[in-house]
Amino acid sequence: MYWPYCVVWSYYAGKALGMSRPDGRGTFESDPHAIAYQGPLPASHIHIILSAHYEFYIEQGKQLEHSGKTIGVVTNIEGIRWYKVEVRDDYVTSQSLIIQFISQKSSK
């Protein structure tokens, strides 16, 4: 059964409830425990501040497919701010200025 984990992120439900939810191989918590990694930051909109958050999923995909109904799917989103970016080099790394610029702008 699908359960949207944004309810933990938003504090609508507690982390314990979210981590106990079953997935295909156990629980949502079992994989991070199996590799002894819990991540560097808490799963929380309070600890990880974003200026925007977008979550996309289609619930009941199999039920919709079997019913033969047509559905609409979001293919694009449009933000309030647009940036024109021009890259004038042939080598871009994760530490390039453009990545730093976008990261700074998106976290405000």
> Torsions phi, psi of 62, nearest 5?
-65, -40
Residue 79 pairs in a beta bridge with none
The C-alpha angle 83, 89, 95, rounded to 5 degrees, equals 70
* pLDDT band of 1, cuts 50, 70, 90: very low
- Give tens-digit pLDDT for 55-102: 666 666 677 778 877 776 667 766 666 777 676 666 655 556 666 777
19, exposed or middle or buried, with CB in 10 Å at 0-12, 13-18, 19+? middle
Residue 90 C-beta-side C-alpha neighbours within 13 Å = 0
What is the DSSP code (8-state) at residue 79? -
- Give tens-digit pLDDT for 21-56: 877 778 877 877 788 877 777 767 777 777 666 666
